[in-house]
Each structure stands twice: as structure tokens, then as C-alpha cells.
């Protein structure tokens, strides 16, 4: 059986009903009648969600009329509840025999066997269920399911316009708009702010759902996608954004989504079903969001935020809505979730803080917030619903404390804390040019992380001793083609010239995982973080490494070149990679090219197995750099991007410190040069522990160097070392509290 008049005829009829100047209930009643006739169904029913996650029968054709507004099902109850719970279509030929079937005598549905239910979705949330039924036993065809899903999407807009989802109906005291509320979340970017709430409402209202001319809609869609891609490319070339390090890397990854052909094709297919370009974008994004939510994968959830962002931006290109808004100075941006590019659209000068219901410390938007110096707190369930535009919000990005509509005393306390932070920033600036030397005379090297040319001015501004980690892969991720040898050489030379006499450690391409090239073919892996990446790619594709090394050798002519090999698992991998570097050195000699005065090759210790091979490694490597993020994540078998498990380990766990102490001791016994880069290096308390373990070189984001230098100049390293050594024998989950108490007793500056 096929749909009576085809999906486009049905959509046109729905549009006519939507335009009628009647009550929402009357329109719903007409809609179920038209849908039933078009789908050749004996029953068509609309269930909408009410307070307490209850699904109420709002309209029906075929069931008893007096069951409307009387029949209610809890989420998960019956087949209708199953559709709402799973956000997936349920298609059955004999519904009453299914164990999930819930019989409701008041509906009079006894004769009906066939059941097809689809979720009514708006903005990634299930607001109800659209169901059709027939007496004859049969499964609905795939095109019929597709047609009903398209109708459900249009229906979601009708329902929303009808005002059925009035939050006042929930009658929950905690939702009163005048009540002060305190939330405790996770601080993801330090800083304190007090300012008016600005709700991030990027959803563009789609006025027209049904296409008059699908061919014209396809043209509009293609033009908007092209404009979207141009705008994302513009972010990368803009000098105003001043993205550095990980922030730049995030936008590069975001750009890959904009060029994804699968995403584009799904939207084209949706247009061909009879939807406008705008409606097609919304439908594809709602389906993607629900699919990701069901999988529960935190990495995919972060990717879904990026795709949400892209979809909203694409809608603005389609509608001509540039989303410009006049924001109050110091505004606190509040949202359920958002992508990094959306945050950049607001700019760093106007915002005071960012507050999200969903985000992890390694999420893309958190990385960009930190690079913007914007206080940020996340994991605040219910805040977006409770906050109103203009409400005052006090935010502490360090403790994760957020006060909505705070009392005067709370505002005063936050203002005082913010003033103290401003004073601290002035102190950091005052020590910029002073040496990082402990009170008992031990010098510490503080290096900065970088990845692009415009990172280099931060070298002077931060007072760093050099570049401890330069991420070379960012240059490869910017363009649509592989950088030519001449381009690589010129780029590396600019970096070396900008550093002057200060050292620069160039990490070779760390590709793979979530860092893929837009012009390369990559096979999907079940666990990309442990798959084909970094040095493994270099050894399987040696020309790629030799090509990059050749550029580095030429750019470093007459100077010292430092090369760092990422993700080394064993000594053999390092030796094979070094042999490729030596071949390039020999080639330069044979061609009488000007070579570097010295070439130092190091290994990045991110894989725990390598820690047990340091004596052998030190015979081949000139230096070793601990990548603490990956090393500890792998050591504890914890995915740092997964909120469920990310807090199950702490960097200051005795096992973490013991592992790092073993590495430090092994390096010292073999006279090896050792450093550490990673999140630990930029946190004063963590860095204090690292120094106590024996590390003397740390690399971090440029903005973290001031606080770390203040901490170093305030401590007696001998005392710290003795205390940390004793702590390694404890069994605490975290030593953070004990270390903080020690620092407070000794007057060590941590803020």
C-alpha cells in the first residue's frame, strides 16, 4: 500500500491547515483526519508530552473522541511510550501481541493490529508521538515510515506555534522566575564574572516547511553550504580571533565537518522528500542529535555540538538572519550546549563568562573559552530553563559555583573575588621578566605551547624561555591540499626567526584520532585514540616524515634543530624514525646544503610502555618530553572526554605521581634531558607536585606561565620534594587536599 496522494500532496494539505485562523486544537483535529486519509490509515493519533513526562492523547481520527485529553501514558509505557523513550519509529504488524503493548479500553482500539509510531521532535527533544493504525496485519513500507517522519517534523512546528509547551503548566516551585538559585557545576576555565544573562538562542525559526519547487530548494541549499564553508574558512584567516594552540586546532577540526559530504547528501535527500532547504537542515540535525544521544558516546556528543552549530549557521545563511544582537557589556552567555564557532561569533570583548548545561573539560568550546580567557562553568542541569534574559548571574570558573539572581551579599563577594584576580594578573605581569627560580635557588625552565605563526608574539608577552611544544600538524589541517615543501620551509623559518635565541621543539605530525586531513582518506577505527596515528602513520608513510624533516632541516640551517616524535610506543619505533631523519641529514650533506649546527631528536612519552624502556631509549634519544594528558589517561584506562568516568582519576593520585617519579629517576640515572607538557604543567598545585618529583622543565599555554612563575618563586623546593616523596606512599584517591594544605602552611602562591 502506498500513501494516497504522495508526501508532497500531504505536505501541501498540511500547509493549508496550518494557515487557517482557527484554534490549535481544531487544527490538530483536522491534521489527524488528513494524515489518516493520505496514509490510508484507519486511525491517526497525536500524543503530546505534558508535565512529568506524561504523554497525553491530544487528537485522534479513528479512536473514541472522548479519550482525547483523558488517555495518558508515562514515558516508556506502551508502544507510544516506547517511541517517546527511544526517539525511534516503532513498526509492528501485530501490536497487541507485543509485550510492550498497553491496552487502554477507553480508546476503543481493540480491532486494530498494525501500528506505526514516530517521534515528534523539535530542537533535539521528543515532544510527542504521531501514530497510525489499521485492522489488517502488515508492516508499513520504508517509504511510508519516511513519509510519516516528515509529517511529524512539520507537526512539531504546528504544535510549537500552538503554545502547548507552556512551562507554567509544570507548576514546579523551583521554576519560579523570581527565586534565587545556586548551581554547582564543573569549572572549565578560570575567572570570576557577574553580569546579565544572555540566552544563547541560535535556533532560527523556520517559517516555511513545505517546498513549492524542490529543484529551487536544492539550489538554495547548495548556495548556503558554500557560504557556510566560506565563513568557516574566514575564521581561520581572521587576525581578530587570535586563536592559539588548541583553540586553533579545534576550529580546524570544526572546518572538516563543514566539508563533510555525507552531511550534505542527507540534507539533499531530505529536500527531495518535499521539504524546504531550512526544514531539511532541521530534520537531518534532529535525527543526528537523537542518534548520538542514544549512543551515549561523549566524543560523539561533542561532535554533535559542532554539527548543531553548523546546522544553525547554515540556517542563518538560508534565511539571511545574521544573528547580530546588541549585548550588554559583561554579559554571561547561557546555553544547553554550543559549538566553538558560535562562541567566537560573540567575540571576547563583550562577554563576561560562559555557562553551559553540557560540556566537558576537553570539549571544543571549553578549549576555545580558555584560549579567549573567558570564565566558563558547565554540567549545570536545569540552568538554561531557569534563567531569563537579563537575570543577574554570578560565575566562578574555578570552583564551578554559579548563582542565579543572587542576593546582594553574594554579588559583593563575587565582585571582591574578581578584584583580587585583577590584582593577581598585575602581579603576574610584574614577574614576567624575572627568572623562575625557587627560594632555595633552583632554576626552572618555563616553556610555552604553540602551533601557528601568530602564537609567537606570546613568547615575549608571557616571558617564556622558549617553545616546548610546537604542533606542526595545524599547518597541514588549514588548507585543502598538502603544504608544498617550500611553504613548509618558509613557515618553519618564520617560527625559528621569531624565537630568536630561544629554543623551539617541533613535534612532527601528530595526525589521527580526531585530527584528520581534509584532503586525505582515513578509514574509520573503533578506537582512533589507540589506532593509526602519529609516529605509526609516519613509519607506514615514511615519505610524509622525510618531507617534513627536509623542510625543518632547511629552515634551521646554521642553528640547532629540535625534533620531537609523538606517540612513541617502544624504542624500535624511535630508532626507525630517527633513521629516516638521519637519511635526510645525509642527503643534505651529499647535496652540499647548509645544515643545522646540531639536530636533537626526542621522544614524546605518552604510552606507559615506554616508561619501562627509558634506559634503552636514552641511548638513542637526545631528550624526552612527557605528554601527561595521554600518559595518565592511558595509565588509568580512562577516557578524559567521557563525563561518566573523567572524574574517576585525578592527576594528583599517588599512582600518577609514582609513575612520573619513576620516569624522572630513570632519566636522571641515564643522564637524559626530561620535560613535561600537558594540563598538569599549567596548574599551580599540579606543577608544584611535578617540581617536587624532580622535573625542571615544564611547557604550557602562554597565559599559564605567570601563575606558575609566581608559584615557583614562592616555594622552597627542598621542602616540597621531601613532602611529595612521602605522599607517593599513600593510598588516597587524590592528594590534592594535602598538597593544598601544605602550600597554604608554607605561603606558596597558588593564585
Q: For residue 528, what pLDDT is reported? A: 65
What is residue 57's predicted lDDT score, i.e. its pLDDT? Answer: 92
pLDDT band at 109 (very low <50, low <70, confident <90, very high): confident
Mean pLDDT along residues 229-249: 61
Mean predicted confidence (pLDDT) in 59-83: 91
Mean pLDDT for the stretch of residues 122-134: 82
Q: Residue 162 has what pLDDT?
A: 52
Q: Is the predicted pLDDT of residue 177 greater than 60, yes or no?
A: no
Q: Which domains does the chain have, with CATH numbers?
A: 6-164 (3.30.450.40), 181-202+324-424 (3.50.30.10), 214-319 (1.10.274.10), 431-521+528-746 (3.20.20.60)
The whole-number average pLDDT for the span 547-573 is 95
**Distance of alpha carbon 475 from alpha carbon 491, whole angstroms:** 9
**Cα–Cα distance for residue pair 36/33, rounded to 1 Å:** 5
Which of 421-425, 649-653, 665-669 has the weakest average pLDDT? 421-425
- pLDDT beyond 70 at 191: yes
pLDDT of residue 168: 36
| Res 14: pLDDT | 78
Greater pLDDT, 621 or 269: 621
Lowest mean pLDDT among 13-17, 119-123, 163-167: 163-167
pLDDT at residue number 418? 83
Does the pLDDT at position 295 exceed 80? no
**For residue 170, is pLDDT > 70?**
no
Using DSSP's 3-state secondary structure scheme, residue 291 falls into: helix
Residue 443: pLDDT band (50, 70, 90) is very high
The answer for residues whose C-beta is within 8 angstroms of residue 430's C-beta and 6 or more apart is none
pLDDT of res. 435:
93
Residue environment code for 490-523, b if the CB has 16+ CB neighbours within 10 A, otherwise e: ebbbebbebbeeebbbbbbbbbbbbbbbbeeeee
Q: How far apart are CA 54 and CA 57, in angstroms?
A: 10
pLDDT value at 167 more than 50:
no
Question: Does 298 or 674 have the greater pLDDT score?
Answer: 674
Cell numbers placing 301: 556528543
Which residues in 610-640 are b (16+ Cβ under 10 Å) and which e?
bbebbebbbeebbbbbbbbbbbbbbbbebbb
Distance CA 520, CA 516 (A): 8
Whole-number pLDDT of residue 202: 47
Burial 655-686 (b: 16+ CB within 10 A, else e): ebbebbbebbebbeebebebbbbbbbbbbbbb
pLDDT in tens, 137-149: 989 888 888 888 8
Question: Per-residue confidence at 328, pLDDT binned at 50, 70, 90?
Answer: confident
What's the rounded Cα separation, in Å, for the pair 289 and 580?
A: 45
Handedness of CA 691, 695, 697, 702 (dihedral sign): negative
- Per-residue pLDDT band at 262 (split at 50, 70, 90): confident
Give the single-character DSSP code of 453.
G
Encode pLDDT of 384-441 as tens digits. Answer: 767 877 889 999 998 899 999 888 878 888 888 888 777 777 778 888 889 999 999 9
Does residue 493 or residue 370 have the better pLDDT? 493
Region 671-697: what's the mean pLDDT?
94
> Does 677 participate in catalysis according to the annotation?
yes
Q: 166 falls in which pLDDT band (50, 70, 90)? A: very low
State the chain's mean pLDDT as an integer. 82
What integer is the mean pLDDT of 72-84?
A: 89
Handedness of CA 512, 527, 602, 581 (dihedral sign): negative
User: How many other CB atoms are found less than 10 A from the CB of residue 213?
Assistant: 10
CA angle 60, 149, 2 (to 5 degrees): 80
Predicted confidence at residue 255, as pLDDT, reads: 66
Q: Which of 44, 200, 677, 728 is an active site residue?
A: 677
- pLDDT recorded at residue 379: 85
Please choose, from the candidates 445, 502, 437, 500, the residue with its C-alpha nearest in 3D space to the C-alpha of residue 674: 445
pLDDT of residue 179: 63
In the sheet where 43-50 sits, what is the strand order?
72-74, 54-61, 43-50, 125-134, 114-122, 90-92
- pLDDT at residue 513, as a whole number: 58
Q: Kindly provide the residue ranges of all beta strands, DSSP E only, lying in 317-361, ordered along the sequence.
A: 331-335, 351-356
299 pLDDT above the threshold of 90: no
Listed range (23-32, 74-83, 225-234, 564-573) with the worst mean pLDDT:
225-234
Q: Which of 408, 402, 363 is nearest to 386 (CA)?
A: 402
Kindly indicate the confidence band of residue 747, based on its pLDDT and cuts at 50, 70 and 90: very high
Q: Looking at residue 728, what is its pLDDT?
A: 92
Confidence of residue 742 (pLDDT cuts 50, 70, 90): very high
Q: Which of 305, 317, 364, 403 is catalytic?
A: 364
Q: What is the pLDDT of residue 537?
A: 86
What pLDDT does 430 receive?
A: 82
The per-residue pLDDT for 616 is 95
Per-residue pLDDT tens for 479-532?
A: 556 788 998 999 999 999 999 999 999 999 887 655 555 555 556 666 766 778
Active site residue 364: yes
Confidence tier at 9 by pLDDT (50, 70, 90): confident
| 246 contacts 265 by C-beta, under 8 angstroms | no
- Is 18's pLDDT higher than 50? yes
pLDDT for the residue numbered 515: 58
User: Residue 715's pLDDT band (boundaries 50, 70, 90)?
Assistant: very high
Mean pLDDT check: name the lowest of 6-20, 59-73, 326-340, 384-398: 6-20
- Tell me the pLDDT tens digit for each residue of 678-689: 889 999 999 999
As a whole number of angstroms, the distance between CA 378 and CA 357 comes to: 5
Residue 694 in 3-state DSSP? coil
**H or E stretch including 114?**
strand 114-122
Q: What is the mean pLDDT of residues 72-101?
A: 90
Rounded to an integer, the average pLDDT of 433-460 is 88
Are the C-beta atoms of 32 and 104 separated by less than 8 Å? Answer: no
Q: What are phi and psi of 90, to 5 degrees?
A: -120, 120
pLDDT at 467 over 70: yes
Read off the pLDDT of each residue in 60-87 and give the average, rounded to a whole number: 90
Q: How confident is the model at residue 360 (pLDDT cuts 50, 70, 90)?
A: low
Amino acid at each position: 500500500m502506498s500513501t494516497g496522494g504522495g508526501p508532497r500532496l500531504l505536505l501541501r494539505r498540511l500547509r493549508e491547515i496550518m494557515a487557517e485562523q482557527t484554534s490549535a486544537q481544531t487544527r490538530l483535529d483536522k491534521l489527524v483526519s488528513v494524515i489518516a486519509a493520505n496514509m490510508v490509515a484507519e486511525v491517526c493519533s497525536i500524543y503530546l508530552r505534558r508535565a512529568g513526562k506524561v504523554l497525553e492523547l491530544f487528537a485522534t481520527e479513528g479512536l473514541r473522541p472522548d479519550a482525547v485529553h483523558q488517555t495518558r501514558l508515562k514515558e516508556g509505557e506502551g508502544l507510544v511510550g516506547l517511541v517517546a523513550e527511544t526517539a525511534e519509529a516503532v513498526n509492528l504488524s501485530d501490536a497487541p501481541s507485543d509485550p510492550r503493548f498497553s491496552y487502554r479500553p477507553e480508546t476503543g482500539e481493540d480491532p486494530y493490529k498494525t501500528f506505526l509510531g514516530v517521534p515528534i521532535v523539535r530542537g533535539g527533544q521528543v515532544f510527542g508521538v504521531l501514530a497510525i493504525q489499521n485492522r489488517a496485519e502488515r508492516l508499513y513500507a520504508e517509504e511510508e515510515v519516511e513519509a510519516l517522519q516528515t509529517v511529524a517534523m512539520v507537526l512539531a512546528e504546528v504544535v510549537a506555534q500552538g503554545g502547548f509547551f507552556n512551562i507554567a503548566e509544570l507548576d514546579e516551585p523551583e521554576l519560579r522566575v523570581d527565586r534565587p538559585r545556586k548551581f554547582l557545576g564543573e569549572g572549565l576555565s578560570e575567572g570570576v564574572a557577574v553580569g546579565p544573562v544572555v540566552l544563547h538562542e541560535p535556533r532560527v525559526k523556520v517559517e516555511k516547511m513545505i517546498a513549492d519547487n524542490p529543484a529551487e530548494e536544492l539550489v538554495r541549499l547548495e548556495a548556503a553550504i558554500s557560504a557556510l564553508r566560506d565563513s568557516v574558512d574566514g575564521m581561520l584567516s581572521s587576525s581578530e580571533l587570535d586563536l592559539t594552540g588548541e583553540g586553533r586546532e579545534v576550529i580546524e577540526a570544526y572546518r572538516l565537518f563543514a566539508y563533510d559530504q555525507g552531511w550534505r547528501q542527507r540534507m539533499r535527500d531530505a529536500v527531495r522528500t518535499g521539504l524546504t532547504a531550512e526544514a531539511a537542515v532541521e530534520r537531518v540535525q534532529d535525527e543526528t542529535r537523537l542518534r548520538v544521544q542514544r549512543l551515549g558516546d561523549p566524543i560523539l556528543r561533542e561532535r554533535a555540538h559542532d554539527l548543531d552549530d553548523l546546522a544553525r549557521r547554515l540556517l542563518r545563511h538560508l534565511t539571511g538572519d545574521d544573528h547580530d544582537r546588541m549585548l550588554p557589556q559583561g554579559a554571561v552567555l547561557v546555553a544547553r550546549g554550543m559549538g566553538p564557532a558560535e562562541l567566537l561569533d560573540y567575540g571576547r570583548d563583550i562577554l563576561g563568562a560562559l555557562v553551559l548545561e553540557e560540556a566537558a573539560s576537553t570539549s571544543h568550546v571549553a578549549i576555545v573559552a580558555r584560549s579567549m580567557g573567558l570564565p566558563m562553568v558547565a554540567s549545570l542541569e536545569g540552568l538554561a530553563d531557569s534563567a531569563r534574559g537579563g537575570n543577574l548571574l554570578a560565575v566562578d570558573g574555578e570552583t564551578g559555583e554559579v548563582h542565579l539572581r543572587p542576593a546582594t551579599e553574594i554579588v559583593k563577594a563575587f565582585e571582591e573575588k574578581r578584584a583580587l584576580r585583577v590584582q593577581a594578573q598585575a602581579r603576574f605581569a610584574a614577574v614576567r621578566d624575572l627568572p623562575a627560580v625557587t627560594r632555595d635557588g633552583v632554576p626552572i625552565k618555563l616553556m610555552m605551547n604553540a602551533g601557528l605563526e601568530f602564537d609567537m608574539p606570546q613568547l615575549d608577552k608571557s616571558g617564556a624561555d622558549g617553545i616546548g611544544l610546537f604542533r606542526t600538524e595545524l599547518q597541514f589541517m588549514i588548507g585543502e591540499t598538502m603544504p608544498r615543501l617550500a611553504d613548509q620551509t618558509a613557515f618553519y623559518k618564520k617560527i625559528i626567526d621569531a624565537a630568536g635565541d630561544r629554543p623551539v621543539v617541533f613535534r612532527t605530525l601528530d595526525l589521527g584520532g580526531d585530527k584528520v586531513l581534509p584532503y586525505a582518506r582515513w578509514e574509520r577505527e573503533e578506537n582512533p585514540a589507540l589506532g593509526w596515528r602519529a609516529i605509526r602513520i609516519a613509519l607506514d608513510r615514511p615519505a610524509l616524515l622525510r618531507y617534513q624533516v627536509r623542510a625543518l632541516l632547511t629552515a634551521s640551517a646554521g642553528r640547532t634543530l629540535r625534533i620531537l616524535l609523538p606517540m612513541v610506543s617502544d624504542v624500535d619505533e624511535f630508532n626507525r624514525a630517527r633513521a629516516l631523519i638521519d637519511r635526510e641529514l645525509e642527503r643534505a650533506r651529499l647535496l652540499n646544503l647548509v645544515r643545522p649546527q646540531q639536530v636533537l631528536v626526542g621522544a614524546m612519552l605518552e604510552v606507559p610502555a615506554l616508561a619501562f624502556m627509558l634506559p634503552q631509549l636514552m641511548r638513542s634519544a637526545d631528550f624526552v618530553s612527557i605528554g601527561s594528558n595521554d600518559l595518565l589517561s592511558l595509565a588509568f584506562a580512562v577516557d578524559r572526554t567521557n563525563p561518566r568516568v573523567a572524574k574517576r582519576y585525578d592527576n594528583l593520585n599517588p599512582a600518577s605521581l609514582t609513575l612520573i617519579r619513576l620516569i624522572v629517576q630513570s632519566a636522571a640515572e641515564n643522564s637524559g634531558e626530561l620535560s613535561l607538557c600537558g594540563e598538569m604543567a599549567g596548574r599551580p598545585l599540579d606543577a608544584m607536585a611535578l617540581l617536587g618529583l624532580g622535573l625542571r622543565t615544564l611547557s604550557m599555554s602562554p597565559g599559564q606561565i605567570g601563575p606558575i612563575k609566581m608559584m615557583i618563586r614562592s616555594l622552597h623546593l627542598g621542602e616540597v620534594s621531601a613532602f611529595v616523596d612521602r605522599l607517593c606512599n599513600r593510598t588516597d584517591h587524590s592528594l590534592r587536599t594535602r598538597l593544598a594544605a601544605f602550600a597554604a602552611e608554607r605561603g606558596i602562591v597558588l593564585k
